Amino acid sequence: MRIAYLDRTVHETDSEPKPNGDVSAISKSIDLQGSFETGDKTTIASKDFGGLYSTKPLALIKPAGSDDISRFIKAASRIPRMTVAARGNGHSINGQAMTNGGLVIDMRSTEENHFRLLNINGSFFIDVSGGALWENVLTRCVSRFGLAPRSWTDYLSLTVGGTLSNAGVSGQAFRYGPQISNVTELEIVTGKGDITVCSETRNPKLFFGSLGGLGQFGIITRARVKLQPAPDMVRWIRVVYTEFDEFTRDAEFLVSRDDGESFDYVEGFVFCNNDDPVNGWPAVPLDPVHGFNPGIIPQTGASVVYCLEVAFHYQKGDHPSTVDKAVAGLLKRLRFVEGLKSQVDLSYVEFLLRVKRAEEQAKANGIWDAPHPWLNLFISKSNIVEFDQTVFKKMVKDGIGGPMLIYPLMRSKWDNRTSVALPDSEIFYLVALLRFVSRGPSVEESVAQNREIVEWCIKEGLDFKLYLPHYQSKEEWKLHFGNQWTRFVERKASFDPMAILAPGQNIFKRTHLS
C-alpha cells in the first residue's frame, strides 16, 4: 500500500480549477462586521508551521464573530468549488488549515468574544473563544481566578478550536484525559452555516463529532472548559534509564496510580547516548548548571537512552520538607539510574509556558521557522517494545534534530463517542518525532524516514494510529478510521453535506447539491 503521509507534494486541490469568487461582492452581500484581506496580505494563511506545503487562498477573513462566519459559509455554499478553512494559529504540519482559492477564516480575530467564568453546581468552567490561544486562557484564568484548565498541550501558542479538532495531549492526559475530554459545551457554526450550541445532551452528534473531528463538521466558536484550582508551584524532574523495559514499567506504573498517589504530569523522551548538543546528553539537564555525568551510565553500548519527565504540584505555603518527602516517596519506587536526576522548582505558569522559552531561543537561533516534518503516532503498549527495537534503536538512533517524545496514555480517559481514532489497548503511547530540519536530516530525508516508519508499522501489523493524521486518499482515511469511518461519513453528511469545511484535511471533496 502507498503511504502518502507526509508526501511532500502539491495539494490535490492545486491541480483543480479554482472557484470564481469575488470576495468584496460576497462580503458586501453579507454585511460583514469584521474585515478581510486579499493578495499579498493573505500570505500568512498560505503556509503553516510544517513548512511543507503552500497554497493561495482567495481571501483571509477576520470575522467579528459567529454571524460573520455563518454568513460566509452560506455564501460559499452558493459558489461552485468554494471552500472555507478555519485557521487557528496555523500550527499544523501538512496544510490542514489551508485552502487553495478558498476563504480562510482567521479565528484569532475572535479571541476576545468569550471569556466568562461559570460556577455550575460548585464546579468551575470557563467559556472561551475557539480562536483563543491556550497561553492566554492560562494566564487570564490563573491571574483573575486562581483557576486553570486541567489538561494541556506541551506548547500553548495553539488555539482552543485547533487542538479540540485533534485531541490535545500532554503529561496531564493520563489523569484527566485529552483536552477533548475536558469540555462540556461548544458553540459551532456548521458547514450549513447554522450556529448551534451542543453538549453531551444537546445535539450530542455534533458535539462528539467535532471533538477530534479535524474541523470537518463545523467551526468551533466557543468552548466551555473545565477548571480546577491552579497550584502555585511545580517541581519538574527528569530521571534517566538505560533499559527501555524499566522506563516503560515505571511510566506505566505512574499513569496507572490513583489521583494523589502519583505525579501530576508524566512524559518522557528518547535521546542519543552521546554528547551531541541537540540529540544527546545535553538535552537532559533542566538547568545547564546541573550538567550531565555520562560516566554514571552503565556501559551497555546502547545507542539511545530514555528520560522520564515528571512534575509535582504544590502550594507556596507548603513546607519544603513536606514537598521533598512527597516527591522522594514517589521517586523511591522508580528504577532510574542513580545520580542521573535533574530538577527545578518553578511557578505553575512558567512550567506550562516552558516550550515558549524554547521557542524564543529557537527563534533567536533562526531554527524555529525552518520546515518541521513532524510525525506523531499513538502506539499500543503491546507493540511499544518492537517499536523501540526497530525505530528508536535502529532507524533514528542518530537523532532527528529535535525531541523524540514517548509517554503512556490511558484509553479509559478518552470518550469513544468523539471522532478521534485510537489504538485498541487500554495503555497506548504518544510517540512524537519533532524534527527541526536545520539541525538534523534534510526535509526529503526526514519525510522519507517518516514514511519508512509508518510503512514498517503497517507491515508488522502494529496496533497504531497517526495522531494529527494526514493522508492523500480516501482509502487511507478509511483505514485510519476503521470501523468509525461510517459514523464519520454520516456526521459529515449531517453537518457539512457539501464538504465546504477544512479542505486541507483532504478527506472529502467539495460537492454541489442540486
Strand order in the sheet with 464-466: 341-347, 233-241, 304-314, 265-272, 404-410, 427-433, 375-380, 464-466
Q: Going by C-beta distance under 8 Å and a sequence separation of 6 or more, which residues neighbour residue 3?
A: 451, 454, 455, 458, 476
The answer to whether 468 contacts ligand FAD (rule: CB under 6 A) is: yes
Catalytic residue among 14, 127, 154, 386: 154
One of 34, 168, 212, 268 touching ligand FAD (CB under 6 A): 168
Following DSSP, what letter does each residue of 462-513 receive, concatenated? --EEESS---SSHHHHHHHHGGGHHHHHHHHHHH-TT--B-GGG-SS-----
- DSSP strand pairing (404-410 vs 265-272): antiparallel
Say which DSSP state 393 is in: I
Q: Using CB under 6 A, which of 107, 206, 266, 340 touches ligand FAD?
A: 107
Q: Is 167 in the site for ligand FAD (CB under 6 A)?
A: yes
Question: If DSSP codes are grouped into helix, strand and coil, which group holds residue 309?
Answer: strand
Say if strands 84-87 and 103-106 run parallel, antiparallel, or are unpaired: parallel
Q: Which of residues 25-64 bind ligand FAD (CB under 6 A)?
A: 48-49
Cα 86 to Cα 14, 108, 114, 449, distances in angstroms:
18, 10, 18, 30
| Of 37, 68, 91, 470, catalytic | 91
Amino acid 299 reads Q
Is residue 258 flagged as an active site residue?
Answer: no
Among 502, 507, 508, 510, binds ligand FAD (CB under 6 A): 502
CA distance 305 to 296: 13
Please say if 267 is a catalytic residue.
Answer: yes
Smallest separation, CB 254 to ligand FAD (Å): 18
Q: How many residues bind ligand FAD (CB under 6 A)?
A: 36
Is 512 tagged catalytic? Answer: no
- Find the part of the chain contacting ligand FAD (CB under 6 A) among 85-93, 139-147, 389-397, 416-424: 85-93
DSSP lists the bridge partners of residue 287 as none
**Considering only 25-33, 331-339, 450-458, 501-509, which stretch makes contact with ligand FAD by CB under 6 A?**
501-509
Nearest distance, CB of residue 485 and ligand FAD, angstroms: 18
Cα–Cα dist 374/4, whole Å: 14
Q: Which of 60, 219, 352, 379 binds ligand FAD (CB under 6 A)?
A: 219
Nearest residue (CB) to ligand FAD, 340 versus 469 = 469
505 near ligand FAD, judged by CB under 6 A: yes
CB of 176 to ligand FAD, least distance (A): 13
Closest distance to ligand FAD from the beta carbon of 97 (Å): 4
Helix (H) or strand (E) holding 39: none
Residues annotated as part of the active site:
91, 154, 267
Residues found near ligand FAD in the complex (CB under 6 A): 48-49, 85-92, 96-97, 107, 130, 153-155, 158-159, 161-163, 165-170, 214-215, 219-220, 468, 502, 504-505
